[in-house]
Amino acid sequence: MRLWTEISSVVRFYVDGFRNMTWGRPLWYLIILKLVILFAVLRVFFFEPVLAGRTDEQKSDFVGSELVDRSAVQADECPGEY
Amino acid sequence: MVDAALIGWSRAQFALTACYHWLFVPLTLGLAVIMAVMETLYVVRKDDFWKRTARFWQKIFGINFAVGIATGIILEFEFGTNWSNYSWFVGDIFGAPLAIEGIFAFFMEATFVAVMFFGWDKVGKKFHLASTWLTGIGASISALWILVANGWMQHPVGMEFNPDTVRHEMTDFWAVVSNPVAVTKFFHSVLSGWMTGAIVVIGISCWYLLRKRDVRFARSSIKVASIVGIVGTLAVMFTGDGSAVHVARYQPMKLAAAEGLEDGGTRAPFSIVPGVEIPGMLSFLATHDIDGFVPGINDLLEGYVTPEGVAGLSAEEKIARGDAALDAFRQYRETRDTNPEAAAEARKILEQNVDYFGYGYIKDKEDLVPDVWLVYWPFRIMVGLGCLLLLLMVLVLWFEHKNRIEQMRWLQMASMVSIPLVYIAGQAGWIVAEVGRQPWAIQDLLPVNAAVSSLDKGAVMTTFFIFVAVFTLFLAIEIRIMLNAIRKGPEKGPEDAVAGE
């Protein structure tokens, strides 16, 4: 019961704080807009982690092969390429 | 094969994000201290004027904090997408500090920022003051973990490479945290934030003085900010000296590039600008001994022996050892399931040469030299502006102390002009640190051409330009909101009402 009272007072602190904001309100809109752009647009459509969906073993194999292959192509690669 | 353009665009995108991120961070770090000092004055002196002063700067802090929030998260997106080999290769060494940073950033900043903004009339004065200080301390601790991760990339310590998982595994957490490069970098970066905060506060305050409004507020802000700024700048210089010693020891090519030093030696000169040198100064700065040996670019490529008989390997020797490490790594992977003896032998060779692992990807020793002009000039811009801004803060404090700051219109104008200069100095510092360590993503262990993901370069270019548009939009919004807040000025106190009548 006491814990619940404490939690509700903390929640009320935040709710009242947000409700009584004057200059801070547009900033919160800005923060929300920014987070939407970051997580709902950029993260979803542009930043798919290359190793996502693989097990740790598969990730090790993939990166290990990449590291070996890239060293092997050094000798006979084209100009302008690594 | 990895297209050079893909590496270039991936680097450009990361640099762009980091540069924008560093526009917001230093002001957060610096303003946090300044407004906490002001609030301390309010609590100690029980003068409401200081409460209004602190509240105004907290508003500026809040605007900067809100617009800058989560900018750093994009860097973490980029690690997973553009630098996936790197992200896996560094293992938990990079992940652990970033995770701690995330927890601190979330819990400390979210909790105490809220108390700072919402709690003025709801919590006790001392609790509120503690929250304000803890907001600043939380931001600094967040920076610590980020810079521990960055310091490890510059000077990897406390780990062991596991060829089975293809990851570095942390063997000594304390070695990672107390990495001398990270510790120096932390103080250097955070204290440069004090400098940024101070110059911004002084510049804005001088705008009020030029307009002859809120004079007491402006002068008091100038006094606090210039003291914080001078202390911060002197400490930045001190930590910069430590940083030079570490760079000389762990990243000598960066130092040689920053000085444009082709051929090194004892009594190496410090270049002020091309053609103007101070004999022996570079040796003194790098080794704290005027006769100390500093290798130049050619020495590092061709190999050298110091007067004390310490030999530095040539680039070709390092590349040969890198090739041996990579070949052993390949053999280990091919034989570990079928031929344990061959695998054990390969692993032994790998362990003997693992410190040079990244050199196996270097095809031409000239690739080990960063763009000299892009390290040389930013270093001079950083140091030159740092000295200029220190002089400005000393002058501002002096004239404020002598009650003449209101008459010094040229100094007020100069202070306003200095606001962009302090940002240029900070950006230049990061360019020195990051361009100077090229071609390495992790010093000696992984160059950028092995660290980068195999992506379509068109996609990386597209996101680069999206970032330019989005970040610039947010920056413009921040500046607009901030200018509105500055125009409105601090809350008015009873003495302003009397003056108005």
Q: What is the pLDDT of residue B3?
A: 83
The amino acid that residue B35 corresponds to is M
Q: What is the pLDDT of residue B498?
A: 58
Three-state SS sequence of B254-303: HHHHHHCCCCCEECCCEEEECCEEECCHHHHHHHCCCCCEECCHHHHHHC
Chain A CB contacts of B1 below 8 Å: 73, 77-78, 81-82
Chain A touched by B107 (CB under 8 Å): no
Supply the DSSP string of B79-92, one letter for each residue: HHHT-HHHHHHHTH
Chain B touched by A43 (CB under 8 Å): yes
Nearest CA of chain A to the CA of B274: how many Å? 31
Residue B404: C-alpha distances to residues B169, B229, B270 (Å):
60, 20, 38
pLDDT-derived band of residue A75, with 50, 70 and 90 as boundaries? Answer: very low
Please tell me the distance from the alpha carbon of residue B324 to that of residue B346, in angstroms, as a whole number: 10
pLDDT in tens, B295-314: 999 999 999 998 888 889 99
Three-state SS sequence of B206-254: HHHHHCCCCHHHHHHHHHHHHHHHHHHHHHHHHHHHHHHHHHHHHCHHH
Q: What average pLDDT does range B406-430 have in this prediction?
A: 96
Please tell me the distance from the alpha carbon of residue B81 to that of residue B72, in angstroms, as a whole number: 15
Please tell me the distance from the alpha carbon of residue B117 to that of residue B120, in angstroms, as a whole number: 7
Give residue for tokens 């097990």. Answer: A55
Burial (CB count <10 Å: 0-12, 13-18, 19+), residue B403: exposed
Q: Give the torsion sign (CA, A15, A17, A18, A19).
A: positive
Chain B touched by A44 (CB under 8 Å): no
Q: Give the torsion sign (CA, B92, B93, B97, B100).
A: positive
Q: What average pLDDT does range B413-441 have in this prediction?
A: 95
Q: Do B450 and A71 touch (CB under 8 A)?
A: yes
Chain B touched by A48 (CB under 8 Å): yes
Q: A interface mutation test: which of B2, B120, B131, B460 has the most A CBs within 10 A?
A: B2
Chain B CB contacts of A80 below 8 Å: 3-5
pLDDT higher than 70, residue A82: no
pLDDT-derived band of residue B492, with 50, 70 and 90 as boundaries? Answer: confident
Q: What average pLDDT does range B128-133 have in this prediction?
A: 94
Q: What is the pLDDT of residue A18?
A: 73
Any idea which of A16-20, A38-42, B111-115, B170-174 has the lowest mean pLDDT?
Answer: A16-20
Nearest CA of chain A to the CA of B243: how many Å? 32
Please tell me the distance from the alpha carbon of residue B53 to that of residue A2, in angstroms, as a whole number: 38
CB neighbour list of residue B17: distance below 8 Å, 6 or more residues apart: B71, B74, B75, B78, B467, B471
Q: Do A63 and B455 touch (CB under 8 A)?
A: no
Nearest CA of chain A to the CA of B392: how many Å? 32
pLDDT in tens, B152-189: 999 999 999 999 999 999 999 999 999 999 999 999 99
| Chain B residues 43-72 within an 8 A CB cutoff of chain A | 59, 62-63, 66-67, 69-70
Burial A4-38, CB ≥16 within 10 A → b, else e: eeeeeeeeebeeebeeeeeebeebeebbeebeebb
Any idea which of B264-268, B389-393, B453-457 has the lowest mean pLDDT?
Answer: B453-457
Q: What average pLDDT does range B322-330 have in this prediction?
A: 94
Chain B CB contacts of A50 below 8 Å: 80-81, 84, 453-455
Chain B touched by A16 (CB under 8 Å): yes
Nearest CA of chain A to the CA of B109: how many Å? 14
pLDDT-derived band of residue B448, with 50, 70 and 90 as boundaries? Answer: very high
The residue with greater pLDDT, B285 or B119, is B285
Chain A CB contacts of B463 below 8 Å: 42, 46-47
Residue B312: C-alpha distances to residues B11, B143, B301, B386, B447 (Å):
30, 34, 10, 34, 20
pLDDT in tens, B68-87: 777 777 888 888 888 999 99
The amino acid that residue A56 corresponds to is D
Chain A CB contacts of B28 below 8 Å: none
Residue A30: C-alpha distances to residues A5, A36, B323 (Å):
32, 10, 51
Instruction: Pick the residue from chain A with its C-alpha nearest to B165.
Output: A60
pLDDT-derived band of residue A80, with 50, 70 and 90 as boundaries? Answer: very low
Q: Do A82 and B166 touch (CB under 8 A)?
A: no
Please tell me the distance from the alpha carbon of residue B227 to that of residue B348, in angstroms, as a whole number: 57
Chain A CB contacts of B84 below 8 Å: 49-51, 63
CB–CB contacts below 8 A, A to B:
134
Chain A touched by B472 (CB under 8 Å): no
- Residue B281 · residue B289 · CB < 8 Å: no
Q: Which of B166, B363, B459 sits opposite A64 (nearest CB)?
A: B166
Grouping H, G, I as helix, E, B as strand and the rest as coil, residue B93 is helix
Strands B270-273 and B440-442: unpaired
Chain B touched by A38 (CB under 8 Å): yes
Chain B CB contacts of A31 below 8 Å: 66, 69-70
Element (H, E) at B449: helix B448-451
| Number of other residues whose CB lies within 10 A of the CB of residue B382 | 24
Q: What average pLDDT does range B322-351 have in this prediction?
A: 93
Among the listed residues B412, B417, B481, B421, the one whose alpha carbon sits nearest the alpha carbon of residue B215: B412
| Number of other residues whose CB lies within 10 A of the CB of residue B48 | 13
The residue with greater pLDDT, B16 or A3, is B16
What is the reported pTM? Answer: 0.91
Q: What is the pLDDT of residue B463?
A: 85
Strands, E, within chain A: which ranges? none
Q: Which of B3, B85, B360 sits opposite A81 (nearest CB)?
A: B3
- Residue B328 · residue B353 · CB < 8 Å: yes
Please tell me the distance from the alpha carbon of residue B222 to that of residue B200, in angstroms, as a whole number: 10
Q: Do A13 and B477 touch (CB under 8 A)?
A: no
| Number of other residues whose CB lies within 10 A of the CB of residue B163 | 21
pLDDT-derived band of residue B433, with 50, 70 and 90 as boundaries? Answer: very high
Q: What average pLDDT does range B400-417 have in this prediction?
A: 95
Supply the DSSP string of B348-411, one letter for each residue: HHHHHHGGGGGGGG-SSGGGGS--SHHHHHHHHHHHHHHHHHHHHHHHHHHHHHTT-GGG-HHH
Please tell me the distance from the alpha carbon of residue B400 to that of residue B147, in angstroms, as a whole number: 36
Q: For B273, phi and psi rounded to 5 degrees?
A: -140, 165
pLDDT in tens, B17-36: 999 999 999 999 999 999 99
Q: B interface mutation test: which of A70, A73, A78 has the most B CBs within 10 A?
A: A70
Q: Do A30 and B474 touch (CB under 8 A)?
A: yes
Q: Do A51 and B59 touch (CB under 8 A)?
A: no
